[in-house]
Amino acid sequence: MTPAEIRDEIIDILDDISPDEDLDGLDDQKPFRDQLELDSMDFLDIVMELRKRHRVQIPEEDYGNLASMHSTVTYLEPKMKDL
């Protein structure tokens, strides 16, 4: 997957787990939590969906990489480039 495709996939997951949010204006550089009402259970949903959809495993010590869209895509790129 390309970085753009990974981003689309994260948007799709966010749309599922936070269906009341408008994701069109999401700033990739800003933390998700500054823009969306996400709590720790929601971040676990992101981890779970990546596991279910792509068998991507994200260890707990790496959760900090999911802070923003930019950091998430950067972190996932090597894990998903061959998918």
Partner 1 sequence: MIAPHLASKLPDDQRIVITGIGLTAPNGNDWGTFRQALLDKRSGVQPYEIRYFGETLAGVCDFDAKKYQSKKDIRRGTRAGSVGVYAANEAVAHSGLDWENLDRSRVGIYVGVTEHGNVETENEIFVIKGFDYDTSCWSHHHNPRTVANNPAGEIALNMGITGPHYTIGAACAAGNAGIIQGAQMLRLQECDVAIAGGTSESIHTFGIFASFNSQNALASHTDPSAASRPFDKSRNGIVVAEGGCLYTLERFSDAKARGAEIYGELVGYAMNTDATDFVLPNPERQAQCVNMALKRAGLQADQIDILSTHATGTMSGDSQECAALRSVFGECTNTRINNTKSYIGHAMGAAGALELAGNLAAFADGVTHPTINVDDLDPDCHLPGLVLNEPQEHARVDYILNNSFGMLGINSVVIVGRV
If one asks whether residue 23 binds partner 1 (CB under 8 A), the answer comes out as no
Q: Is 59 helix (H, G, I), strand (E, B) or coil?
A: coil
Taking the least distance from each CB to partner 1, the nearer of 26 and 48 is 48
**Would you give the binding string for partner 1 spanning residues 52-81, x where CB under 8 A is met?**
x-----------------------------
If one asks whether residue 20 binds partner 1 (CB under 8 A), the answer comes out as yes
Task: Measure the CA–CA gap between 83 and 18, rounded to whole angstroms.
Answer: 25
Task: Measure the CA–CA gap between 12 and 23, rounded to whole angstroms.
Answer: 10
If one asks whether residue 33 binds partner 1 (CB under 8 A), the answer comes out as no
68 - beta bridge partners? 31
